[in-house]
Amino acid sequence: MQVTTTSFKVEPSNQDTVIVRIGKALDFRNAAEFKSTCQTQVRSGARNFVLDFSETGILDSTGLGSIFSLYRQVSPLEGQVVFASVSRPVQVVVQLTRTYKVFRQFPSVDSALETFE
Amino acid sequence: MGQNSILIVEDEHTLRRLLEYRLSKQYDVRTASNGEEALARIEERAPDMIISDIMMPKMDGFALQNAVQSKKETSAIPFIFLTAKADEQSRTKGLRTGVDDYITKPFDIEQLLKRVDRLLERTKQFKSQLDARISQDFSQRLIPKNLPNVDDYRILFRNAPKEDGGGDLFDWIEVGDGTYLFTIGDVMGKGLQAKFYAFSFFGYVRSTIHAMLPTTTSPAKLMARVNQALIDDSTMEETFASLLLIKWEPASNTITYVNAGHCRPVIIGPDSSSVVEHSDLILGLDHETDFKDTVIELKENMSFVAYTDGLSEQVLSGGKMVGEQGILDHASRVAGKDDPIDELLTSILSSSGTPEFADDILVFWLQRTGLNWFAPFANAG
């Protein structure tokens, strides 16, 4: 089943991997919603998260913080959070915080999914 | 933004259902048929407002209101009485401490909705004013009032917190003979919650530094310990922060510094300027993060400039952000001025075409003057 919230589309890929389409922005306005969307997924068994940033123009520190929360939630469960189709504005934030050391990046959602097959 | 929750307390089934139906279009509504049930609902989760009948079996509206009033956690919940008693006596009794409105049955539902709306809006405004005051207080405490005073050096600092901004922090201590340690950080998130985390985080950084100083003054070692503490403590698990720890030894004109995911400082020299390249992962993410010290020698007339992302993320009139290169360009241009920070801020603001910064800003400027030979001339003039 496809779950649609106002800004995040979640698509299950396999038993423990989901794709989260980040819309135009992940920032202080919708970070709480992102968190609860992901928490629901973790509770129903998702471990690996592919975040699709192809349309994202804004990622602020509150938004990034919500991704960090997700990372801290799934890493003890041996899950991963990876970034796909990283847009230029997102790339800038990732560079600044050196978080590319933690979140692997892939050119597309498909290539990211291959690692979880 | 969550929906406001309202608890309706009414013994008459039809009216209760009607209110529930109408109010639930806008609010998260729960119901109870008497005071006792209402208290149980409140115990489960405190509502943002209570609308209660007066005459009810078991526990009436007055008793409910007394109970709600007497508990600290619930006494601030807006309370509206609904009653069939139109007589003056009951009205007077109803308009007592802690009752915000009094509506007589039969009532116009639109009228009720309006009043509910207005009351919730007023409560929200009151709360946001309170938040602003607390936030102001936090912001002031996160910044020290004075700066070290050392010959041949000039230290400048400026910050401008926003009410709804995040948690920028700045601190310094003298760690030994003429050696200083500066802390510059930014806790992720916005608003009061970020400020609160910044405040707790600040305490962490301070106590970690104090505890470890007898063993080490290496910024990288201190940083690793702060990171570990942050990850081990579950109450801080939502706290992610970028941090710069800067050890400054004026006697040897060196800066030893470590950067955990913070905006990279710039070095402004008389002939050339550059970004301090090395930087490590932001705090709170990975307990195995490796932090590395970078040593910088400050030559005469060199400045070390650190800042928070409110400065580099300021949007210019062309739609682009200032960015690292922008900071470098602007800072190089103002380096020789009397008040370079002031000039830097003015210069960035004029390129962005706005009167003020969109986010919190913080700038730290450390300059080795080394102009002693010039002093006699200056005095003579």
pLDDT of residue B58: 87
Closest Cβ opposite residue A102 in set B186, B189, B285: B285
Using alpha carbons, list the distances in angstroms from residue A115 to A54, A70, A101, A109: 19, 19, 17, 11
- Look at residue A103 and tell me whether its pLDDT is greater than 90: yes
Interface contact A65-B188, CB threshold 8 A: yes
Residue of B nearest to A63 (CA): B189
- Look at residue A3 and tell me whether its pLDDT is greater than 60: no
Residue of B nearest to A75 (CA): B286
Structurally, at CATH architecture level, domain A3-108 sits in: 2-Layer Sandwich (3.30)
Task: Give the bridge partners for B275, in sequence order.
Answer: B266
Contact A60, A30 (CB under 8 A): no
CA distance B231 to B210: 19
B284 at the A interface (CB within 8 A)? yes
Widest Cα–Cα separation across chain B: 93
B243 at the A interface (CB within 8 A)? no
Using alpha carbons, list the distances in angstroms from residue B186 to A39, B104, B157: 26, 53, 16
Contact B303, B276 (CB under 8 A): no
- Look at residue A6 and tell me whether its pLDDT is greater than 80: no
| Superfamily holding B142-380 | PPM-type phosphatase domain (3.60.40.10)
Q: How far does B154 lie from chain A, in Å, by closest CA?
A: 28
Which one-letter DSSP state was computed for residue A115?
A: T
B101 at the A interface (CB within 8 A)? no
Task: State the span(s) of chain B assigned CATH 3.40.50.2300.
Answer: 5-132
**Six-digit token pair at B317?**
């009139």
How do the domains of chain A map onto residue ranges? Answer: 3-108
Contact residues, chain B, for A99 at CB < 8 Å: 261, 281-282, 285
Backbone angles phi, psi at A90, to 5 degrees: -70, -40
Task: State the span(s) of chain B assigned CATH 3.60.40.10.
Answer: 142-380
| Residue pLDDT tens, chain B, 381 long | 468 899 999 999 999 999 999 999 889 999 999 999 999 999 989 999 999 988 888 888 889 999 998 888 888 899 988 877 654 565 666 555 667 777 777 778 888 888 899 888 888 888 777 777 777 777 777 778 789 999 999 999 998 877 666 678 889 999 888 999 999 998 887 667 777 788 888 888 888 888 998 899 999 999 999 999 888 887 777 788 899 999 999 999 999 999 999 999 999 998 889 999 889 999 988 888 999 999 999 999 999 999 998 898 888 888 888 888 999 999 999 988 889 999 999 999 999 988 888 888 999 999 999 755 444 444 433
Closest Cβ opposite residue A68 in set B263, B284, B323: B284
pLDDT of residue B341: 95
Q: Which of B149, B120, B158 minimizes the C-alpha distance to B346?
A: B158
Interface contact A28-B189, CB threshold 8 A: yes
- Written as one string, the DSSP assignment of B281-346 is PPBTS-TT-----EEEE--TT-EEEEE-HHHHTPBPTTS-B-HHHHHHHHHHHHTTSSSHHHHHHH
Best of A59, A97, A99 to substitute, by most chain B Cβ atoms within 10 angstroms, is A97
pLDDT of residue B88: 55
Interface contact A61-B285, CB threshold 8 A: no
Query: If you count residue pairs, one on A and one on B, with CB atoms under 8 Å apart, how many are there?
Result: 58
| Superfamily holding B5-132 | Response regulator (3.40.50.2300)
Rg (CA), chain A: 13
Closest Cβ opposite residue B189 in set A65, A92, A98: A65
